[in-house]
C-alpha cells in the first residue's frame, strides 16, 4: 500500500512538472503571435504553427495511430476542432482587436470553464469549494497584473469577446483530451492526430481569411524564429506535455496551471524587456500563485 502511494505521488509530481513547463512556454506565445500578425492572417499563423508541429512529431515518432473503435475518432476530431481550429483562430483574432495582456488575462479564466464542464461530463471530476476559492483569489491576482502600470489599459468588446469564447473552447478541449487519455494510445500519436484534425477543419476558414504564406515573409529572421518557436516549442512539445499532464492529473487540476500565464508574462517582461514590476503587480503574482495552490487542494 505504501509503495503504491509513493508511485502515485511520483506520478502526480511528474504531472505537475509537465503542466508547469507547458504553461511556462505558453505564457510567452501571445507576444510571438502578436508579432506574426503584422505579416500573416490568423489562419496563416495557425497553419504555419501546426504544420510545423505536425511534421516535427512525425519525424520524432514516424508511426501510425490505429484506433480500436471508430467512435474514438469523434473525440480526436472534436479535440482538433475545439483546441486547434476554433481556439487558435479566436485567440489570433482577439490579438488583432485587443492587447496581448488583455487576451492573456481572459484566457486565464479557462480553468473555471473546465471545472464546470468536467463536472457535467460523464465520469467527470467533482466541483469542490477549494477550486472556486482558488479561482476567486487567482482572478483577483490576474486583474492586478493586467492593470500593472498600464496607462493604456482598456477593454475592447470584440477582441475580448473572442478571448472569452476561446477560453470556453479550451475547456472543451481539456475535457475531450482527458477522455482520449483513457484510450491508452501513445501520447505523441494522439497529439499528432489532434493536430491533423485541427488543420483539416481549418480549411473552411480560408473562405474568410487569406492564407498569404509568402516565402519572403516566412524566411525573415524575426518571423522564422517565432514560427519555429510556436510550431516546435509551443505546439509539438507543449501539446504533448499538456496531454500527458491531463492524463495524469485530470482536466481540472491541469487547467488550473493556466492561472500562471499572466504571472509568467509579467516575469518574462521584467527579465527580457526590463519592464518594472510594481508593488501592485507583485501582489497580483502572489495572489495568482496562491489561488493556484488553493485550487489544487484535495478537500472540498
Whole-number pLDDT of residue 74: 96
Flag whether 7 is in a domain: no
Q: What mean pLDDT value characterizes the chain?
A: 83
Burial class (CB in 10 A: 0-12, 13-18, 19+), 72: middle
Q: Is the pLDDT of residue 270 over 80?
A: no
Domain assignment of residue 127, given as a range: 12-295
Other CB atoms within a 10 A radius of the CB of residue 68 amount to 9
> What is d(CA 89, CA 91) in angstroms, rounded to the nearest whole number?
6
Whole-number pLDDT of residue 49: 94
> What is d(CA 91, CA 107) in angstroms, rounded to the nearest whole number?
9
Flag whether 256 is in a domain: yes
Selection from 116-120, 125-129, 237-241 with the highest mean pLDDT: 237-241
72-76, 101-105, 149-153, 171-175: range with lowest mean pLDDT: 149-153
Burial class (CB in 10 A: 0-12, 13-18, 19+), 97: middle
Q: Is the pLDDT of residue 4 over 80?
A: no
CB-based contact 94:20 (threshold 8 Å): no
Give which of 253, 113, 251, 278 is closest to 182, Cα–Cα.
251
Q: Is the pLDDT of residue 47 over 70?
A: yes
Please report, rounded to a whole number, the percentage of residues in the chain having pLDDT higher than 90: 35
Flag whether 5 is in a domain: no
Q: Is the pLDDT of residue 153 over 50?
A: no
Whole-number pLDDT of residue 296: 64
Flag whether 122 is in a domain: yes
Q: Is the pLDDT of residue 190 over 90?
A: yes
Other CB atoms within a 10 A radius of the CB of residue 28 amount to 19
Whole-number pLDDT of residue 149: 47
Flag whether 212 is in a domain: yes
62-71, 123-132, 181-190: range with lowest mean pLDDT: 123-132
Higher pLDDT, residue 108 or 167: 167
Task: Note the pTM of the prediction, 2 decimals.
Answer: 0.80
Whole-number pLDDT of residue 285: 74
Flag whether 180 is in a domain: yes
Give which of 87, 106, 103 is closest to 42, Cα–Cα.
87
Whole-number pLDDT of residue 276: 66
> Which grid cell sits at 82?
475545439
Give which of 188, 161, 190 is closest to 79, Cα–Cα.
190
Q: Give the tens place of pLDDT for each residue, 241-259.
A: 988 898 888 877 888 888 7
Flag whether 41 is in a domain: yes
DSSP per-residue letters across 279-291 = HHHHHHHHHHHHH
Question: Domain tally for the chain?
Answer: 1
Give which of 255, 16, 18, 242 is closest to 134, Cα–Cα.
255
Flag whether 4 is in a domain: no
pLDDT tier at 3, thresholds 50, 70, 90: low
Amino acid at each position: 500500500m505504501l509503495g503504491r502511494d509513493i508511485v502515485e505521488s511520483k506520478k502526480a509530481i511528474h504531472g505537475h512538472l509537465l503542466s508547469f513547463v507547458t504553461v511556462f512556454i505558453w505564457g510567452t506565445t501571445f507576444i510571438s503571435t502578436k508579432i506574426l500578425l503584422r505579416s500573416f492572417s490568423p489562419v496563416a499563423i495557425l497553419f504555419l504553427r501546426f504544420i510545423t508541429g505536425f511534421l516535427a512529431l512525425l519525424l520524432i515518432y514516424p508511426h501510425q495511430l490505429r484506433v480500436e473503435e471508430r467512435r474514438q475518432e469523434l473525440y480526436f476530431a472534436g479535440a482538433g476542432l475545439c483546441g486547434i481550429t476554433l481556439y487558435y483562430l479566436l485567440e489570433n483574432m482577439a490579438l488583432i482587436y485587443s492587447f496581448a495582456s488583455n487576451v492573456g488575462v481572459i484566457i486565464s479564466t479557462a480553468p473555471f470553464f473546465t471545472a464546470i464542464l468536467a463536472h457535467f461530463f460523464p465520469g467527470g471530476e467533482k466541483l469542490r469549494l477549494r477550486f472556486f476559492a482558488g479561482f476567486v483569489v487567482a482572478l483577483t491576482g490576474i486583474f492586478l497584473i493586467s492593470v500593472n502600470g498600464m496607462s493604456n489599459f482598456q477593454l475592447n468588446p470584440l477582441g475580448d469577446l473572442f478571448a472569452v469564447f476561446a477560453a470556453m473552447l479550451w475547456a472543451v478541449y481539456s475535457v475531450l483530451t482527458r477522455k482520449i487519455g483513457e484510450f491508452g494510445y501513445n501520447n505523441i500519436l494522439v497529439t499528432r492526430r489532434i493536430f491533423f484534425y485541427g488543420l483539416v477543419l481549418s480549411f473552411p476558414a480560408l473562405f474568410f481569411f487569406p492564407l498569404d504564406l509568402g516565402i519572403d515573409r516566412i524566411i525573415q529572421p524575426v518571423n522564422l524564429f517565432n514560427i519555429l518557436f510556436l510550431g516546435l516549442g509551443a505546439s509539438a512539445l507543449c501539446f504533448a506535455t499538456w496531454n500527458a499532464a491531463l492524463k495524469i492529473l485530470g482536466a481540472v487540476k491541469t487547467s488550473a496551471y493556466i492561472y500562471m500565464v499572466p504571472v509568467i508574462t509579467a516575469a518574462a517582461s521584467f527579465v527580457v524587456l526590463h519592464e518594472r514590476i510594481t508593488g501592485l503587480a507583485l501582489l497580483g503574482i502572489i495572489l495568482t500563485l496562491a489561488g493556484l495552490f488553493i485550487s489544487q487542494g484535495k478537500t472540498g
